[in-house]
Structure 1
Amino acid sequence: MAAAAKAGSTRLAYFDDMGAIRSTATVISLHQEEGGRRAVVLDATIFHPQGGGQPADTGLISSAGARFLVDDARAKDGVVFHYGRFEDAAGDGRTPPELKEGQGVTLEINAERRSLNSRLHSAGHLLDSCMTNLGLNLEPGKGYHFPDGPSVEYKGVIPADQLQDKKTQLEKQANELISKGAKVLVSVFPYDEAAKLCGGALPSYISQDSTPRIVKFGDYPGCPCGGTHVADVADIGNLKVTGIRVKKGVTKVSYSVSP
């Protein structure tokens, strides 16, 4: 998800405008998997598929009376599958109208869910900067930006006798940065330019012939990311570090956000 969508894949319209909660697209295909699960594939989407530590958007795909309620979205080989069900809009038990290939549709995502997911994702990235500011130069690892227990992991350890102090310092540092605010840059760049924005180098998993998507908070070094983010660091709201745990050489920082 860190690189721009390749030819033939679903165009990720939220790459162009993360603030868009409505858009239009064209139906490419309809699928029914084993067990009856339905999926719609579009030429473009503002629905963020689950991945990169961020949950999927939910919402509605509609056209000419047909209403497809999206409860999940997943990307497979660059194609985004919108999973859900057709709604019986009339409520009278009749077979509801369905979408057709080639049909133009309107997309609408759950704005409240998107906002929370973006704030949680940005908060996780902000903690990376705070760790560096506090001299905790641990290598960032996995991020889990789901509402049910967001956390970020780092390779390396914080001594046990410093955990409580670092927890307090991290939270204070994060909220100081949030109170100051800083514009968040998220865009696709040529490889060399992306590397410069990320401090001079990119992770080895990113191909040198790709155009990576980079997120950058203010003057801090950026990093590759395919998720959604706030427009300004101030939009994260209040951040609370709920715990720091060290296990098997990995430091896990858990957190939450509130308005």
Structure 2
Amino acid sequence: MEPTTPTKLEYYDQMSKLQSKATLLSYFKGDDGREALILDSTIFHPQGGGQPSDTGFISIANSNHRFCVQDVRSKDGVVFHYGVAENSSRESELEQGKGKEVSLQVDESRRRLNSRLHSAGHLLDICMRNVGLGHLEPGKCYHFPDGPFVEYKGTIPPNELQSKQRELEMEVNALISKGGKVYATLLPYEEAAELCGGSLPDYIPQGSNPRIIKLGDNPGCPCGGTHVSDVSEITSLKVSQIRTKKGMAKVFYSIGT
């Protein structure tokens, strides 16, 4: 693989965009045998931030050849599109395709599901404060369809678990019913902090321009993922369980169809 500049992330400000054009910079097979494409820009979201990657297709212009994107990862700002050529006998087109235009097509149903799950996780964060659990500090998040959850540092008294579970579910669904436009923007550090309730997480360096997600009238939050265009698109949310263990609280949830 040749050195290259960071990949331009088109989904950063166009989260609903599912088709685009880009330039093929590199095609190679990694040490693990997987084929990968590097482009100058992409609408494919790489796995990260608790969100699974997009899948879909990349096609070389003026060709019937398609590359099936099965996994997307990012390293040092460069996005790697892993997958397989639909017709292995035509891999040479990819090898000789440096500098050519390619067409990108993201799987709409997978993107929509991932965006709904991710957005629902942010709403849970917002509503934790509304039900008196704002003292808990955010930890890990897992917005994958097979068992999404958000995790917090701190505990909830055992006798309050069921009541807080019910309150949290009611609060989130009230916000979903209300709806509200969702947008992403890059902001100077001080403006971003103000939009997020007065402060930003320690991992965001001062002086930077973080990407902030705003869901309706609620406080914003720093995030690099994809989201719904309106809060109402989440449809509904079920808090299936709140579990506390070793100083951590996990909120497990699912969303409606």
TM-score using structure 1 length:
0.93
Which residue among 38, 47, 50 is the counterpart of 1:50? 47
Residue 177 of structure 2 aligns with which residue? 179
Q: Which amino acid aligns with 2:120?
A: A
- Give the letter aligned to residue 122 of structure 1: S
Provide the residue aligned with 1:34 in structure 2. Answer: 31
Query: Structure 1 runs of 4+ off > 2 angstroms?
Result: 93-99
CA RMSD of aligned residues (A): 1.4
Alignment correspondent of 1:146: 144
Q: Aligned residue pairs: how many?
A: 249
CA contact (8 A) 1:53 1:145 kept: yes
Q: Distance in 1 between matches of 2:219 and 2:189?
A: 15
2:115 & 2:167 partners in 1: Cα distance?
Answer: 24
Deviation at 1:146, TM superposition (A): 0.3
The residue number in structure 1 matching 2:79 is 80
Conserved in 2, the CA contact under 8 Å of 1:66 and 1:97?
no
Partner of 1:14: 11
Cα distance in 1, alignment partners of residues 47 and 91 from structure 2? 28
Q: Deviations over 1:180-215 (max 9, x none)?
A: 112222111122211111122212221223210001
Where structure 2 has 5 or more consecutive residues not aligned to the other structure, the ranges are none
- Deviation string 1:12-41 (CA, Å, 9 cap, x unpaired) is 000121011100000111121123210000
The residue number in structure 1 matching 2:194 is 196
Which residue of structure 1 aligns with residue 241 of structure 2?
A: 243
Equivalent residue number for residue 116 of structure 1: 113
For structure 1, the residue ranges without an aligned partner over 5 or more in a row are 1-6
In structure 2, what residue type is equivalent to 1:153?
A: E
Residues 85-126 of structure 1 show CA distances to partners (whole Å, capped at 9, x for unaligned) of: 1112xxxx8445532110100000000000000000000000
Q: Distance in 1 between the 2:89 and 2:227 partners? A: 41
Paired with 2:206 and 2:15, the residues of 1 have a C-alpha distance of: 26
Residue aligning to 1:4: none
Question: Which residue in 2 is equivalent to 1:3?
Answer: none
User: Is the 8 Å Cα contact of residues 68 and 86 (structure 1) preserved in structure 2?
Assistant: yes
Matches within 5 A, 1:49-68: 49-63=46-60, 64-68=63-67
Q: What does 1:160-179 correspond to in 2, within 5 Å?
A: 160-179=158-177
CA contact (8 A) 1:65 1:97 kept: no
Per the normalisation by structure 2, the TM-score is: 0.93
Take 2:100 and 2:185, find their aligned partners in 1: how far apart are those partners?
A: 30
Deviations 1:30-63 (A, max 9, x none): 1211232100000000000000000000000001
- Secondary structure, counterpart of 1:229 in structure 2: coil
Q: Distance in 1 between matches of 2:56 and 2:125?
A: 31
Q: In the TM superposition, what whole-angstrom CA distance separates every residue of 1:193-242 from its partner, at most 9, and x where no partner exists?
A: 11111122212221223210001222222111000011111011110111
